[in-house]
Amino acid sequence: MCQIVRCLVIILFLFGCAPTNQIVQKPKVNCGILPFESRSGMQAGETENVMDMLAALLQKTGRFTVIDRKNLNIVLQEQGFQSAQEGGDGISKAVKILAIDKMFSGSMGKLGDKYVLNLKMIDISTSEVALAISRTYNDNLENIGNKFLPDVVNEVLLAIE
């Protein structure tokens, strides 16, 4: 009986000393998304829909807290600042208030029968363009969220690692 108790004590001691498999969760990146510019062949509403899908996919990764342009303007108005649409100064104030780390800007247009997405991720602390993506898409615009945009988001994730 004494040996069983010793074995149990030793086993419990060993389990207590064993390293735990803790998952280290990476901090979320606060990011703002400026309205995408609609270029030739794209209507503003279509470009906004693509931008909204991109924002949703970024948020869904769990690595981003996404603040869009509309919310930037709301925060500015609540704080008594001029609208962010009136210039870069308003945007920089909103960035400080919201502690934004990265800012996304982009454009979408059509070139021949292909859609072209241009996306920039700017590191706010350095003003450096941390990532610039230019991709073409050949399918119907309705399907852009199926594989194309998730691939773009994966490339963004790689850039923040």
**Domain boundaries defined on the chain:** 29-160
* Bridge partners, 106 (sequence order): 119
The CATH number of 29-160 is which of 3.40.50.10070, 2.60.40.10, 2.30.30.140, 3.40.50.10470? 3.40.50.10070
d(CA 108, CA 97): 29
What is the reported pTM?
Answer: 0.73
d(CA 133, CA 111): 16
79, pLDDT greater than 50: yes
For residue 67, what pLDDT band results from cuts at 50, 70 and 90? confident
Residue 46 corresponds to which amino acid? E
Structure-block tokens of residue 101: 């780390």
Which pLDDT tens digit goes with each residue over 142-151? 999 999 999 9
88, pLDDT greater than 90: no
For residue 134, what pLDDT band results from cuts at 50, 70 and 90? very high
Share of the chain above pLDDT 70, in %: 67
Number of CB atoms found within 10 A of residue 83's CB: 13
